[in-house]
Amino acid sequence: MDKNNFTERNRLDIIAVATRHFADKGFAGARVDEIAAATATSKRMIYYHFGSKDGLYRAVLAQAYRGFRAAEADHGLNELPPMDALERLVGQTFDYHFHHPDLVRLVMDENMRGGSQVADMPDGHNEIVLPSTQALIDRGVADGSFRAGLDAVDLHMTISALAFYYVSNRYTFSGIFGVDMVSEDAAARRRDQVIAVVSRYCRNDPAG
């Protein structure tokens, strides 16, 4: 592939292949020459456009988070009553994790490496998540459906943790306790539980 003919489609194709390699083998185990062999390009071309293995890995992380944040930001949450919007957000977050296990594996590997690359991702989509969560909290407190004192970071962490764990620990939890963690039916039941837990945590209940 000539560098002058390198398109955005070529870039996304390389990132898609690299995502599978980094998710399956981790940063240390993934090899750029194997990624190049699985695409219509060369190792030299990958280095030319991404700079290094680290640059390719950061592009993979950025693309993974970009898809996740797009799923969070869309679907007209601002048009829904706050509690309905919260339930939809939690459900969307759970669904995205369940259907994109590569994201979970990438995040696990990045944490094992001390988060060495995530701060330098070439992407700004993560900057909108906390203001968006805070805006939802503010609407809920204002209309009386959310209790006062909710923190955007804590709420985002709680939602993410409950969705993340179901995927990150599905095989060990299933093996130890003999429960189904893979089927759509099992995921749907857990999804409902996670929505109920987060909703109860946020709900304003004067009766206590």
- pTM of the complete model: 0.88
| Confidence check: pLDDT of 97 > 90 | yes
pLDDT at position 163, please? 97
Sign of the dihedral through C-alpha 69, 62, 151, 115: positive
Phi, psi of 41 (to 5 degrees): -150, -165
Q: 18-51 pLDDT, tens per residue?
A: 999 999 999 999 999 999 999 888 999 999 999 9
| Confidence check: pLDDT of 177 > 90 | yes
| Distance between CA atoms of residues 40 and 159, nearest Å | 39
Q: 142-156 pLDDT, tens per residue?
A: 999 999 999 999 999
pLDDT higher at 8 or 17: 17
Whether residue 112 contacts residue 90, with contact meaning beta carbons closer than 8 Å, is answered with no
* Domains annotated on the chain, with CATH: 64-202 (1.10.357.10)
| Distance between CA atoms of residues 208 and 190, nearest Å | 26
Cα dihedral 163, 167, 172, 178 in deg (nearest 10):
80
